[in-house]
Amino acid sequence: MLSIFQYDFMIRAFLAGAVIAITAPLIGIFLVAKRYSTLADTLAHVSLMGVAAGAIAGFNPVLGALVASVVASLGMEELRRTKKFFSESVLALFLSGSLAVALILFAVSRGINANIFAYLFGSITTVSRDDVILIAILGILVGCTGILLFKRLFIASYDEELAEASGMPVRTLNIILILMAAVSVSVGMRVAGALLSGALMVIPVLTASQFGKGFAATAALATAFSFIAVMAGLFASFYLNLPSGGAIVAVALIFFAASLVRTKIRPQSGS
């Protein structure tokens, strides 16, 4: 089984996947606490638009996804802050709008149509050395920021009014969180795919929450589930010839289903 590591593209995929596995749930746990988890899906569609724009402009599609996600995230937060629109409406606006633009850009640039499937659902063979370096740099930046601001982000995500009453810069914290989410979705696109990278931010967190631990313990457990799902998904992708994103999310869903079964069985056995 270790023969898989004889291939350079698999080593790159595992390195990139490890970074994504650690950073995604670290951001996702704040989004779930904030009841803003659909932001990940919205940013995934925005990043797809950035991929198309980057390919047309002739630069790294990951950078295109990153720029598009950052700009869109700032726009979404500004609209949400005005309180003129519901958060769900803002997300729906950007999700449908970015998807429409992405489809138009892909149609205009016929030369990249062959790569659409890889960008949508992930591909272990397309992860380049430059992608790994970029993912590592951005992952370290996101991870360090999340750890340093962990307590403040938790309070701001769980109860904005309490955070404001405590004198915390809630608006700044919200912007930092949404920017980290944008970066996480963009870097996860190469391995998990644009449409599935957001799922990796949410599903492991929902799985870990079934164990009834504290917030920090839930974050650590979600990271563990995410890491195992990514590693197992990459193995399945290689040996079963499956899209890496689909395989990773499928493993994460198996863990979630198992956690639900455990939750139902445990009270009965305790009684």
**Could you tell me the CA-to-CA distances from 31 to 41, 66, 70, 160, 258 in Å, in that order?**
12, 19, 16, 13, 23
This prediction's pTM: 0.83
The confidence band for 201, taking pLDDT boundaries of 50, 70 and 90, is confident
Is the predicted pLDDT of residue 214 greater than 70, yes or no? yes
Query: Which residues are CB-contacts of 216 (< 8 A; sequence separation ≥ 6)?
Result: 150
Check: CB of residue 133 under 8 Å from CB of residue 139: no
- Residue 64: count other Cβ atoms within 10 Å of its Cβ: 22
Work out the end-to-end distance of the chain between its first and last CA atoms, rounded to an integer number of angstroms: 43
The sign of the CA dihedral 38, 242, 227, 190 is: negative
> Given this model, what pLDDT does residue 111 score?
55
Query: Which residues are CB-contacts of 219 (< 8 A; sequence separation ≥ 6)?
Result: 25, 26, 29, 150, 205, 208
Q: What is the pLDDT of residues 144-183, one digit of tens each?
A: 998 899 889 888 888 878 888 888 888 888 888 888 888 8
Average pLDDT, the chain: 83
Distance CA 249, CA 226 (A): 9
Q: Which amino acid is at 197?
A: S
> Given this model, what pLDDT does residue 91 score?
84
> Given this model, what pLDDT does residue 271 score?
46
The highest-confidence range among 13-27, 67-81, 126-140, by mean pLDDT, is 13-27
Q: What is the pLDDT of residues 231-259, one digit of tens each?
A: 999 999 888 888 888 889 999 999 999 99
> Given this model, what pLDDT does residue 127 score?
79
**Selected residue with higher pLDDT from 17 and 268:** 17
Token pair, residue 76, equals 């979404």
In the chain the domains, ranked by start, together with CATH numbers, are 2-264 (1.10.3470.10)
With b meaning 16 or more CB within 10 Å and e meaning fewer, what string describes 164-200? Answer: eeeebebeebbbbbbbbbbbbbbbbbbbbbbbbbbbb
Q: Which amino acid is at 96?
A: S
Query: Which residue, among 253, 244, 169, has the nearest Cα to 204 in the 3D structure?
Result: 253
Token pair, residue 258, equals 């198992």
Distance CA 70, CA 80 (A): 15
> Given this model, what pLDDT does residue 95 score?
84
Is the predicted pLDDT of residue 66 greater than 50, yes or no? yes
Distance CA 232, CA 222 (A): 15
